[in-house]
């Protein structure tokens, strides 16, 4: 439809500078510049390195996205940007760029939540989200089960990790195995050659008295590290593929079991899985099998839309425009700990439901001077 909103989305919460352009539920461009190689030698994302890389990549990536989409900036109906959660300095680069473009072009600005964007992106793949949507959100910083009746205004957490995020566990186990960073994709690859039943690693918080929708991966990570250490101390070779497969199986088993249970308990017949870990091939396969057995329709975007990207931000921005949500104020600030319950960020002058410190542009001078 020609009257569907044309929105550009900017994502800079971590190490990918993402710029996406969508028209309603249609993906037109998804340009990503990653600084991951610059962080690999440190074994994790270095915030200052990420901020500077965003600054350098921002304008070229926006220009590339506009060119890929074949649209002019003047045709846009709005500019959306990740306002949080994420790395404060990295978020600031995106928010400042979005404000500059929106102001210069005379377009409305939409500050949106990174986590809600990971869910909304599936509209580009499978059409309008069912309402309510049950979402399993699994990324480097978050692991949650969320129930949303409207992705622009109502996201309710049913449970979350009480320690490490799922992606964080992948990254830490990969480090112990000396497989580099980020760990998820490489463990996924090794696991294909390994036996998932080779080692019985613990499934956290799955006892009858445990919180049914909360997750814990810290004990698993420690169990894997201890197992590897014992092998090394005994002078034996570590069977990397079997460790990767058995560890991955433990994570994926718990994630899918709890997600299916949440759907059953809440009477929801769709499950959406989003976030970087949703790119995992074993998670996708096990979720498919368990959802099918339970009569649940599974929605998982293609892997490239699961990891951080600008299209997901544009998708949520387009939904904001479609639903007539008020644009953000020009005093919109980045909020590194924006709660998942706030999909839309109206601006600092509005009263927020939480009391985290907001990062204002005044601090950007210190970061980049």
The answer for residues whose C-beta is within 8 angstroms of residue 259's C-beta and 6 or more apart is 134, 136, 145, 271, 273, 287
- Look at residue 167 and give the partner it binds from ligand KG4, Zn ion, none, a contact being a CB closer than 5 to 8 Å depending on partner kind: ligand KG4
Q: Is 267 annotated as a binding residue?
A: no
Among Zn ion, ligand KG4, none, the one that 171 touches (CB under a kind-dependent 5 to 8 A) is ligand KG4
Known binding residue 137? Answer is yes
Q: How far is the CB of 105 from ligand KG4 (least distance, A)?
A: 28
C-alpha 109/C-alpha 107 separation (Å) is: 6
The Cα–Cα gap between 107 and 328 comes to 11
Query: CB-wise, 94 or 276, nearer to ligand KG4?
Result: 276
What distance, in Å, lies between the first and last C-alpha atoms of the chain?
A: 46
Chain residues binding ligand KG4 by CB under 6 A are 14, 139-141, 167-168, 170-171, 182-185, 188, 275-277, 279-280, 307-308
Name the one range near Zn ion by CB under 5 A: 137-145, 169-177, 206-214, 219-227.
137-145
Which range of residues in 131-139, 164-172, 187-195, 216-224 is near Zn ion by CB under 5 A?
Answer: 131-139
179 annotated ligand binder? no
Q: Which does 141 bind (CB under 5 to 8 A by kind): Zn ion, ligand KG4, none?
A: ligand KG4
Rounded CA-CA distance 66/151 in Å is 26
- Enumerate residues 6+ apart whose C-beta is below 8 A from 340: 113, 115, 116, 137, 142, 144, 146, 155, 157
Rounded to an integer, what distance in angstroms lies between the CA atom of residue 217 and that of residue 205? 9
Is the Cα torsion angle 233, 236, 240, 245 positive or negative in sign?
negative
204 is in an annotated binding site: no
Q: Of 99 and 118, which CB lies nearer to Zn ion in the complex structure?
A: 118
Q: At what angle are helices 166-176 and 240-266 packed, to 10 degrees?
A: 170
CB 164, min distance to Zn ion, A: 15
Pick between residue 50 and residue 228 the one whose CB is nearest to Zn ion: 50
- Residue 280 labelled as part of a binding site: yes
Q: Which stretch binds Zn ion (CB under 5 A): 61-69, 247-255, 307-315, 352-360?
A: 307-315
Size of the site for Zn ion (CB under 5 A): 2
Of 308, 319, 335, 342, the residue at the interface with Zn ion (CB under 5 A) is 308
Name the strands in the sheet holding 78-84, side by side, starting at the edge strand that comes first in the sequence.
26-34, 16-23, 6-11, 78-84, 109-113, 344-345
Given Zn ion, ligand KG4, none, residue 117, with its beta carbon under 5 to 8 Å by kind, binds none
The whole-angstrom separation of Cα 6 and Cα 69 is 10
Instruction: In whole angstroms, give the CA distance from residue 62 to residue 50.
Output: 17
User: Considering the complex, what minimum distance in angstroms separates the CB of residue 157 from Zn ion?
Assistant: 16
Q: Which residues contribute to the site for Zn ion (CB under 5 A)?
A: 139, 308
| Residue ranges of the binding site | 114, 118, 137-141, 171, 184, 188, 280, 308
């Amino acid at each position: 439809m020609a009257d569907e909103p044309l929105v550009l989305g900017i994502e800079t919460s971590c190490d990918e500078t993402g710029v996406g352009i969508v028209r309603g539920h249609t993906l037109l461009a998804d340009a990503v510049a990653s600084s991951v190689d610059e962080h690999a030698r440190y074994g994790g994302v270095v915030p200052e390195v990420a901020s500077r890389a965003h600054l350098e990549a921002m304008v070229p990536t926006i220009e590339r996205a506009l060119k890929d989409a074949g649209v002019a900036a003047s045709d846009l109906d709005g500019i959306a940007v990740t306002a949080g959660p994420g790395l404060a300095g990295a978020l600031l680069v995106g928010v400042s760029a979005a404000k500059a473009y929106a102001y210069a072009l005379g377009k409305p600005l939409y500050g949106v939540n990174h986590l809600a964007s990971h869910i909304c992106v599936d509209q580009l793949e499978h059409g309008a989200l069912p309402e309510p949507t049950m979402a399993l959100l699994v990324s480097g910083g978050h692991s949650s089960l969320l129930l949303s009746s409207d992705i622009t205004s109502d996201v309710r957490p049913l449970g979350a990790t009480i320690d490490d995020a799922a992606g964080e566990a992948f990254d830490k186990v990969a480090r112990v195995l000396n497989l580099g960073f980020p760990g998820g994709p490489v463990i996924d690859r090794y696991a294909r050659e390994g036996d998932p039943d080779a080692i019985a690693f613990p499934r956290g918080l799955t006892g009858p008295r445990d919180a049914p929708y909360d997750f814990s991966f810290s004990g698993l990570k420690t169990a894997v590290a201890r197992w590897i250490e014992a092998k090394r101390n005994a002078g034996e070779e570590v069977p990397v593929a079997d460790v990767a497969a058995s560890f991955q199986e433990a994570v994926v088993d718990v994630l899918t079991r709890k997600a299916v249970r949440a759907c059953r308990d809440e009477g929801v017949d769709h499950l959406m899985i989003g976030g970087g870990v949703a790119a995992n091939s074993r998670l996708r396969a096990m979720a498919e099998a368990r959802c099918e057995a339970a009569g649940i329709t599974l929605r998982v975007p293609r892997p490239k839309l699961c990891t951080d990207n600008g299209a997901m931000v544009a998708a949520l921005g387009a939904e904001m425009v479609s639903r007539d949500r008020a644009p953000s104020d020009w005093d919109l600030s980045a909020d590194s700990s924006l709660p998942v319950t706030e999909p839309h960020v109206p601006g600092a002058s509005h009263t927020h439901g939480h009391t985290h410190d907001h990062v204002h542009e005044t601090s950007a001078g210190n970061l980049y001077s």
